[in-house]
Structure 1
Amino acid sequence: MALGLPSRLPATPAIGELVRGGAPTFSFEFFPPKTPEGERLLWRAIRELESLRPSFVSITYGAGGTTRDTTVAVTERVATETTLLPMAHLTAVNHSVAELRNVIGRLAGAGIRNVLAVRGDPPGDPMGEWVEHPSGLRYAEDLVRLVKEAGDFSVGVAAFPYKHPRSADVETDTAHFVRKCQSGADFAITQMFFDADDYLRLRDRVVAAGGDTPIVPGVMPVTRMATIERSSQLSGAPFPPALLARFEAVAGDEASVRELGIETCADMCARLLAEGVPGIHFITLNRSTATREVWQLLAPSDVAAAA
């Protein structure tokens, strides 16, 4: 059932079409700021990375919908004040269907065509019990259908190279992912990972299960040991032991940790591009420097293709 929104949104590129276009995409992820200083850092990073001409950028959605209004506002500002193609994240946590329809309507009204639909984590404790809103949605696939019914949106979903932390096993997780994609998803972006083989195994098992949705790897360079300590929470997977040993060998030198993180991320991206991934999605944490350095270490041909 349509929601009374325009059947055709303005002629904005669809990310689902971009990632199927042959050449790999190159994109960045930002999160909505909560303070004036955070807003300053965000827009400085956006302006600095804009010169790299990414295929698109995404704006995340706080746990429990805590940054809903800011997400919409930032995404709209990116759409109207920059040359960048924005994608808004949307989660179902703590939202009724009516509230979700309102957010979707606001996005459509701002001319935003691209949405990443995720069920989302409970506020306060990402690993806490997930409680469905009494007038809300239970699964990400339901959210995908809601967005697709609302108009001509290109909708992405989340993928987990290791497996979703709440999935019983890899097989169950794969089946759920394929079903989620078949509900109407045009593309997927992975949670961050630190071993290319984790992504490649995900891709192989999805294909074996009958899935054909393009899966864009989401990556983030390690610039501090604290990132490794939080890696299980951030990615749902333990940090690769062999890579951990390399970081532990230089743990007392912050500059060396950062240098190793940039180098290993660039190496992983180069391998992924050689394996034919549809693109690379960088989680920036609203900083531009590390992403720029990884970009510069990639082979010129890879960078040109991704630009």
Structure 2
Amino acid sequence: MTRVSFEFFPPKSDAMEQTLWATIQKLEPLQPDFVSVTYGAGGSTRERTHRTVKRIVDETNLKAAAHLTCVAASKEEVNAVIRDYWDAGVRHIVALRGDMPDGPGTPYKPHADGYANGAELTAGIKSIAPFEVSVSAYPECHPDSANWDADIDQLERKVDAGADRAITQFFFDNDLFEAYRERVARRGIKVDIVPGIVPILSFKQIKRFAEMCGASIPDRLADRFEGLDDDAEQRMLVAAAIAAEQVLDLQARGVDTFHFYTMNRAELVYALCRLIGINPVAQAAAAA
């Protein structure tokens, strides 16, 4: 059975909040395993993330997962956030080391009194309450990893600390994902590796994200968006075709679980879910 999860980011304005909630209402009948809400660099969106997650818990039937980073914060500060999430009814955290407040590319420096990395954060979360914990994985190797052995070592530490699954950074070459899964399997690490899929709503935006996180964009994809900067309708059709090709190929390779980076937009993600056999189910309103 194919399963999906969705990722949102906390809105910065009333208009963006309306867009987000329209997206949530559109995607909720697809009954994802969970939905997650991101956490800005250096914890910059902590309050907005908490507010969004709390509203999902209170007003929908969705299982909400809160992103949490350990950068630029003490263990005491991070632990307080973890306890607040538990008290708010959240039972799933996406544990990430995070980027420095100045953003990707800034050398990482652990807080003197904080968790040093995602593995320590995962262990800390599990020591406070029996959360489900998802962690990150990198089919093209994390930019801070010296080599593949170091990268897989870090994944192994996170799994040993109690991680329940690993969700990958977005990628566009399925051979890279397959090679990554093989590396993990050869190491004997027993954890589900869930592919993170991002529809290309804006090629310029995705190119910028890819440059920041070390992901590659094949030339063949860039070529397909050539000349479409001012043609939103054609961009959407091309984006839908590319995403469909990717998820169908992954299905053919035996992948049955997907994590969609929605960019707070429902259209392409909804269509992709229908394409891979996820149909909407009528749901009763969440209990008051």
- Fold match by TM threshold 0.5: yes
Aligned residue number for residue 5 of structure 1: none
The whole-number CA distance in structure 1 between the counterparts of 2:145 and 2:19 is 36
The whole-number CA distance in structure 1 between the counterparts of 2:5 and 2:30 is 10
3-state SS in 2 of match to 1:42: helix
The whole-number CA distance in structure 1 between the counterparts of 2:178 and 2:84 is 37
The whole-number CA distance in structure 1 between the counterparts of 2:20 and 2:236 is 21
Unaligned ranges ≥5, structure 2: 283-288
Aligned residue number for residue 54 of structure 1: 32
Deviation at 1:175, TM superposition (A): 2.1
- Letter paired with 2:125: V
Aligned residue number for residue 267 of structure 1: 245
Sort the Cα spacing of 1:115 and 1:284 in 2 relative to 1 into closer, same or farther, 3 A: same
Deviation at 1:176, TM superposition (A): 1.8
Sort the Cα spacing of 1:261 and 1:235 in 2 relative to 1 into closer, same or farther, 3 A: farther
- Residue 54 of structure 2 corresponds to residue 91 of structure 1: no
- Residue 219 of structure 2 corresponds to residue 241 of structure 1: yes
- Letter paired with 1:147: I
The whole-number CA distance in structure 1 between the counterparts of 2:203 and 2:127 is 44
- Letter paired with 1:132: P
3-state SS in 1 of match to 2:278: helix
- Residue 82 of structure 2 corresponds to residue 104 of structure 1: yes
Deviation at 1:87, TM superposition (A): 0.5
- Residue 89 of structure 2 corresponds to residue 114 of structure 1: no
Aligned residue number for residue 15 of structure 2: 37
Unaligned ranges ≥5, structure 1: 1-22
Deviation at 1:291, TM superposition (A): 1.2
- Letter paired with 2:259: H
Would you say the 8 A contact 1:231–1:238 is kept in 2? no
Give deviations 1:251-300, integer Å, cap 9, x for gaps: 6644323211111111211121232224111111111112123234x24x
Could you state the TM-score of these two structures normalised by the residue count of structure 2? Answer: 0.91
Deviation at 1:102, TM superposition (A): 0.5
- Residue 46 of structure 2 corresponds to residue 68 of structure 1: yes
Aligned residue number for residue 55 of structure 2: 77
Would you say the 8 A contact 2:168–2:193 is kept in 1? yes
Aligned residue number for residue 278 of structure 2: 303
The whole-number CA distance in structure 2 between the counterparts of 1:220 and 1:73 is 24
Could you state the TM-score of these two structures normalised by the residue count of structure 1? Answer: 0.86
Give deviations 1:159-209, integer Å, cap 9, x for gaps: 111111111222321222122222211101111111211211111110011
Counterpart among 117, 123, 127 of residue 145 in structure 1: 123
3-state SS in 2 of match to 1:83: coil
- Letter paired with 2:278: V
Which deviates more from structure 2 when the two are superposed, residues 76-85 or residues 140-149? Answer: 76-85
The whole-number CA distance in structure 1 between the counterparts of 2:202 and 2:50 is 31
- Letter paired with 2:29: S
Counterpart among 282, 293, 296 of residue 271 in structure 2: 293
Sort the Cα spacing of 1:276 and 1:304 in 2 relative to 1 into closer, same or farther, 3 A: farther
Would you say the 8 A contact 1:214–1:278 is kept in 2? no
The whole-number CA distance in structure 1 between the counterparts of 2:232 and 2:13 is 27
The whole-number CA distance in structure 2 between the counterparts of 1:127 and 1:24 is 36
The whole-number CA distance in structure 1 between the counterparts of 2:209 and 2:55 is 31
